[in-house]
Amino acid sequence: MIQALPRSLSQSRFVGGSSAKRCLCLIRSFLGFAIFCSLTQLNAFAKSEAPIEARVEACGQTSPVSSVGDAADDPAIWIHPSNPNSSLILGTDKKKGLAAYDLDGNLKQFLELGPVNNVDLRASIRVGTLDKDLVVLSHRQHRSIDIVEIKSDASLSFAARIPTNLPDVYGICMHKTASGAAEVFINSKSGRLQHYMLQLQQGQLAGVLKQEWSFSSQIEGCVVDDATGIIFVGEEAKGVWAIPFNTGATSPRLVLEVGPWLKADVEGLALAPHKARGPLLIVSSQGDHQFVVLRATSPFEIIGRFSVVGSTEKGIDAVTSTDGIEVYAAPVGTKYPRGLMVVQDGSPAKSAGTQNFKIVCWEDVLTALRLN
């Protein structure tokens, strides 16, 4: 910051050549020093705000899905309302159905639904006069929105199948409105994104199409910020788009482009609250096996990125080629005091083995990116 000249200097009378030259030299020196200080402060600020690159060790993993090859795809996290230690990690086997794991990664239940690709959930959705915890899945064979209910005993049961007119369903995400109603966004490989409202019709859950967008190439990962009414959509070869759908906006905004910090394919997206930085958006950068973290509000600046490394001691391999991800950034029982992140690990498929989901302690991510 350039400060005002001292009063004695600013009010001097410049009489005589030598006096004028001396004063002029003093002014130049003062201004030069002030500019130098300002640039030094700006440079220090820029350095402190530069994006961080880090590595975070996985702290757990689920048992593998039963299907061989590229099968595990997308996770979700359900928090038990009265006993957080009984919370569940959900994960799709895109050849067979939906798996439910405990917080240690042990398989608790498997629903044979067929080829479901992506999954999302919301708790306490108003359905008629009842509040229910609902899971939505994109079913590729039926081209439908499949709905599963999580009961109070943490068991899963199939609830409904809602057809779409999409030729090839792919990604899916959910939005809970202020009134407790559920909305579902489902997309296709052809680049179409549809927005449905869930309603009870003659005692059955049904979907009413509200609006649709089209992208120029394949999309999949998506996530909705319930508080702001913004959906983030990953166009695999291009980047991450934001649409404030509750404001009537129809034009998506590209907020993170494939480039130095994000390598195609753009895959899973997740959101996490943060007191100082506001909501954070986490993006699976499949091309370089990393996860990019940026602010989920304008100007969407990048905070950093990290990879998930293995642990020989725990028998966990490093994470590569991740598809879906999910984050719950609040205490979950005694095991995860600041929450957890679940990521699909694509690496075992390279040896024709079976894939699983890795668990990351969210506190480790916050520490690595200096967000504590």
What kind and span of H or E run contains 121?
strand 116-127
Per-residue DSSP letters for 161-172? EEE---SSEEEE
Do residues 73 and 96 touch, judged by C-beta distance below 8 A? no
pLDDT at 353: 86
Do residues 93 and 83 touch, judged by C-beta distance below 8 A? no
Nearest-angstrom CA–CA distance, 367 and 233: 27
Do residues 281 and 232 touch, judged by C-beta distance below 8 A? yes
Q: What is the mean pLDDT of each run of 10 residues along the chain (372 residues)?
A: 33 38 42 39 48 98 95 98 97 98 98 98 96 98 98 97 97 97 98 97 95 97 96 98 84 96 98 97 98 97 98 94 98 96 83 87 98 94
Give 29's contacts (C-beta < 8 A, 6+ positions apart). none
- List, in sequence order, every residue forming a beta bridge with 133; answer none if it has no partner: 150
Nearest-angstrom CA–CA distance, 64 and 71: 10
Nearest-angstrom CA–CA distance, 220 and 254: 15
- Domain ranges (residues) in the chain: 52-368
Do residues 342 and 89 touch, judged by C-beta distance below 8 A? yes
pLDDT at 246: 84
Phi, psi of 348 (to 5 degrees): -60, -25
Residue 66 tokens, joined: 């039963």
| Side chain identity, residue 44 | A
Phi, psi of 286 (to 5 degrees): -65, -30
| Side chain identity, residue 339 | G
CA angle in degrees (0–180, nearest 5) for 110-116-122: 75
Phi, psi of 207 (to 5 degrees): -115, 135
Sequence length of the chain is: 372
Q: H helices then E strands: how many in the chain?
A: 3, 25
pLDDT at 27: 40
pLDDT at 318: 96
Do residues 318 and 328 touch, judged by C-beta distance below 8 A? no
For residue 349, the 8-state DSSP code is: G
Tell me if residue 229 falls in helix, strand or coil: coil
pLDDT at 40: 37
Per-residue DSSP letters for 247-311? GT--S-EEEEESSSS--SSEEEEEEE--TTT-SEEEEEEGGGTEEEEEESSTT--EEEEEEEE-B
Residue 124 tokens, joined: 């306490």
Helices (H), the chain: 7-10, 17-48, 362-368
Cβ count near 165 (within 10 Å): 10
Class of domain 52-368: mainly beta
Handedness of CA 282, 283, 287, 289 (dihedral sign): positive
Which tens digits make up the pLDDT trace of 315-348? 999 999 999 999 999 999 999 999 999 999 998 6
pLDDT at 352: 56
Do residues 261 and 277 touch, judged by C-beta distance below 8 A? no
pLDDT at 249: 65
Terminal-to-terminal C-alpha distance of the chain: 30
pTM recorded for the entire structure: 0.87
